[in-house]
Amino acid sequence: MMAQEYKQIFLAESQEHLLNARTWFSVLAGDPQNRQVLDDLFRCLHSIKGMAASLGYRRMADMAHVMEDGLDRLRRSDSLPKEALGQLYRGLDYLDGKLTDAAAGKPDAADGTDGDGSRGATLHALVIRMPGASCCQWLLLLNELMRLGNLEVCRPDPDAIAGGILPQELEVELRGVVDREQIERRCRKIHENLRITDRTKSISMPALSLQQGVGESTVRIATQVLDRLAGLSGELLTVRHRLQEALRLGQPEAIEGSCQQLDHLLAVLRRQVLDARMVPLETITAPLFRQVRESCRVTGKKIRLNLIGTEVRLDRAILEALSEPLLHMVRNAVDHGIEDSGTITIAARRDHDRITLDVSDDGRGFDMTELVRRARQEGLLPPSREVKLDADQMLKVLCLPGFTTSAAITETSGRGIGMDVVRHTVDKLGGSLEILSGPGEGASFRFILPLTVAILPVLLVESAGRTLGLPLMWIEKTMEVPRQALHPANGGYVADLGPRQLPVFPLAGLLGLSPASKPCASTVVCELRGGHAGLAVDTIIGQKEVYVKPLLFPLDCIPGLTGSTILGDGRVIFLLDPGSLLSSQHGVVFQGETSCI
Amino acid sequence: MNQTLLLTSGSSLFGLAVKDVAEVLDPRPVYPVPRAPSWVLGAVGRHDRVLPVIDLACLHGTRQGEKGQIVVLDGGRLSLAVTVVHGLTQRGFGMPGALHLPWVVEMFICSRGLAGLIDPGALTDFLKQSLLAARCFFGDSLAAWEGR
């Protein structure tokens, strides 16, 4: 395996182990005598140590080793002092930081990862037998070998041994500046009947050099999923043969049957592939504990981070994009929301084809007077008029580039860049951002996001001769409204729907197109989810699941567009974000070129 | 070494260094992009991408003529609609670029006359600045905010 590929696996697996370790630590804090959790923690750290050592990340391996020792002492003392827990948390943060450095390709002089660490080292290929040894002894042996050098090959895998599968013999390739005798002497201390034989004599192998930086992001996929994908490819081949045969023989019924089967298999394949892209939300929320702890340490505040429902799974692309905005919001809550002590809550739940993510704190919330005052001070609001901001307008002001109500700029927030980034990211993902809290209620934001950005169910509509796609996640229902029930109002219409009234905006108008000139007795209206507004279109073509193509520059700068797709006939269709369209057309607009929203 | 793709946009001659060109596409439907600035002619499907097409004539203020071909820039993320692609030429003596077109970095003489060498990086920067200035197009005026 290429060193770079191995590094990718190391990074992905270590992140997962760290994530698990944090979970186990939080359990252990409440139940220090939980033997099972201690063992699980031990395995996590052991796996990180093994992989880090084999790749030459000596500092990471050492830290994991120290933490293992600490855990071992705790296991024997059956208690978990608060200081020990704090030290272990700091250890995890250290590992987290080193992993981030490794992912960014930062060289570390203390690590062997700059390619020089193994210079002058010898590779020993050994077979080690320890008849009757326990799991603990095998693990101690591995520890000892890792202390002696880089364990480049280990069969069976250390994880398997840590999981309780004990080998008859251990095959290792150890690179280090030690000789064969030293290895034997050190290892024999673990088991007196230990026997070491050379598989080959010292081999001169090129040093394991790692390229700096990480290429494309990776997703770990269970082998069962890969097996299912392989099975599906086989089935697709069989159907193709059947189809070819039916075509050769000119059997329309058989062709029809094969096409149906093909449809079914493609649907299954798509589902499987999408499933493989899904990653739990906790992958990006767990590191926030560290952020909060670090901020508390600096500011002296007492803040609790409460995560609810973060096991929900989202598309990896969404998670990657969401990581930075979440960090911004947590930083804002710590620095400006909560004064002395409080709780930040991140609650996620799946709602059919979308995820609702609430980020809230019980701090002082938004100071509306200050918000309006600062908006005026920045020249973002007219100075004379009495202005009362509702939640939507408040969000728009908060998300203005460079806007901040914070007088103090800390190391991490208060520069007015956070909420702008948050809003932009959510728009690009085809999601929405709302403020839930009112004045004096703390700050509470709601993200609504699609589960996946790869394939989206959309409603194809026609407006002013253009075919356009509206993601179904935004559509409540479609209806036909008689012309006489539409009354002009404030640049759009109000539809009189009996018990209620619905603001309706012609889609053609929002897109800057000339509406169709033909007179219609009725108007087709797509009511947006939540029932806040409707879009009038010329025709509804129907629903379709489309593969979303990302927008390239400069199309990605156009408000209201969320993606594009290519239909079966080759036509390029643009997908719209109704919320962004409406807000950019009918939202708050201020003076000055760069402050328009 | 100085191989340049020579092309006409409207009635002006331009050149693109061969290293900056990925492909020349045959005429094909260009799909309009809603709410796009006037210099975005539309988008085309190319392989697995939806590729933006920039109207070069619009950028240098010429009347929008018939767009014959599409030149895909290196990296395959942006393309230019041009009137005609003439082919390759050897770029000889060059002079500093046209002052009014910041994305033309050099003027050079070829068999068809005086041509401007396009720098894709400068062109992208120019488009970004144009978009920033055009942000006001996407919203209402202050009057709308005040409910007039």
Work out the minimum CA distance from A569 to partner chain B, whole angstroms.
Answer: 11
pLDDT higher than threshold 90 for residue A359: yes
Q: What is the pLDDT of residue B119?
A: 94
Chain A contact for B26 (CB, 8 A cutoff) = no
Q: What is the DSSP string of A214-275?
A: --S------HHHHHHHHHHHHHHHHHHHHHHHHHHHT-HHHHHHHHHHHHHHHHHHHHHHHH
Residues A531, A477 contacting (CB under 8 angstroms): no
pLDDT higher than threshold 70 for residue A3: no
> Number of CB pairs < 8 Å for A and B?
108
Token pair 């013999």 in the structure block, residue: A169
- Return the half-sphere exposure (C-beta side, CA atoms, 13 A cut-off) of residue A565: 24
Q: Which residue has the higher pLDDT, A426 or A529?
A: A426
Chain B contact for A402 (CB, 8 A cutoff) = no
Q: Which residues does chain B have within 8 Å of residue A590's beta carbon, measured at their own beta carbons?
A: 142, 145
Q: What is the pLDDT of residue A205?
A: 34
Q: What is the pLDDT of residue A49?
A: 80
A554 and B40 within 8 Å at the Cβ level: the answer is yes
Rg (CA), chain A: 30
Q: Which tens digits make up the pLDDT trace of A118-168?
A: 445 677 888 888 888 877 788 888 888 887 877 777 877 776 777 667 787
B78 and A553 within 8 Å at the Cβ level: the answer is yes
Of A555, A560, A570, the CB nearest to B52: A555
Helix (H) or strand (E) holding A496: strand A492-497
pLDDT higher than threshold 90 for residue A572: yes
* Interface test mutation site (partner B, options A427, A467, A566, A567, max chain B beta carbons within 10 A): A566
Chain A contact for B146 (CB, 8 A cutoff) = yes
Q: Which tens digits make up the pLDDT trace of A163-209?
A: 667 787 888 888 777 788 888 888 888 887 888 887 644 333 333 22
Q: Give the angle subtended at the CA of A427 by the CAs of A425 and A429, to the nearest 5°.
A: 70
Q: Which residues does chain A have within 8 Å of residue B27's beta carbon, measured at their own beta carbons?
A: none
pLDDT higher than threshold 80 for residue A116: no
Q: What is the mean pLDDT of residues A561-568?
A: 88
Ramachandran sector of residue A49 (left: φ over 0; alpha: ψ -120 to 50; beta: rest) = alpha
pLDDT higher than threshold 60 for residue A538: yes
Q: Which tens digits make up the pLDDT trace of A266-322?
A: 888 888 887 888 888 888 887 788 778 878 888 888 899 999 998 898 888 888 888
Q: Which of A205-214, A431-440, A575-584, B110-119 has the lowest mean pLDDT?
A: A205-214
CA nearest B32: which of A514, A461, A572, A578? A572
Chain B contact for A306 (CB, 8 A cutoff) = no
Q: What is the pLDDT of residue A502?
A: 86
Q: Which residues does chain B have within 8 Å of residue A511's beta carbon, measured at their own beta carbons?
A: 34-35
Length of chain B: 148
Q: What is the DSSP string of A316-372?
A: HHHHHHHHHHHHHHHHHIIIII-SSEEEEEEEEEEETTEEEEEEEE-S----HHHHH
Report A:253-282 residues touching B (Cβ under 8 A).
none
Work out the minimum CA distance from B140 to partner chain A, whole angstroms.
Answer: 6
Give the rounded distance of the alpha carbon of B68 from its chain centre: 13
**Which residue on chain A is closest to B77 by alpha carbon?**
A552
Q: What is the pLDDT of residue A206?
A: 31
User: Strands B113-118 and B40-46: what pairing?
Assistant: unpaired
Q: What is the mean pLDDT of residues A214-241?
A: 78
Q: What is the pLDDT of residue B4?
A: 94
pLDDT higher than threshold 60 for residue A597: no
Q: What is the pLDDT of residue A415?
A: 41
Reading the block at residue A391, the tokens are 């939640």
Q: Which residue has the higher pLDDT, B54 or A71?
A: B54
Average pLDDT, chain A: 77
Q: Which residues does chain B have within 8 Å of residue A589's beta carbon, measured at their own beta carbons?
A: 139-142, 144-145
Chain B contact for A446 (CB, 8 A cutoff) = no
Of A549, A560, A597, the CB nearest to B49: A549
Chain B contact for A110 (CB, 8 A cutoff) = no
Q: Which tens digits make up the pLDDT trace of A364-422?
A: 887 777 777 766 766 666 776 666 677 777 777 777 666 665 555 454 444 444 677 78
* pLDDT band per the 50, 70, 90 thresholds, residue A587: very low
Q: Which residues does chain B have within 8 Å of residue A588's beta carbon, measured at their own beta carbons?
A: 145
Q: What is the mean pLDDT of residues A445-459?
A: 83
Q: Which of A216-220, A302-306, A437-441 has the lowest mean pLDDT?
A: A216-220
Residues A124, A198 contacting (CB under 8 angstroms): yes
Q: What is the mean pLDDT of residues A485-499?
A: 82
Give the rounded distance of the alpha carbon of B98 from its chain centre: 15
Q: What is the pLDDT of residue B100?
A: 78
- Amino acid letter for position A553: F
Q: What is the pLDDT of residue B47?
A: 76
Enumerate residue ranges in chain B where pLDDT < 50: 136-148
Work out the minimum CA distance from A595 to partner chain B, whole angstroms.
Answer: 8
How many angstroms separate the CA atoms of A582 and A597, rounded?
Answer: 11
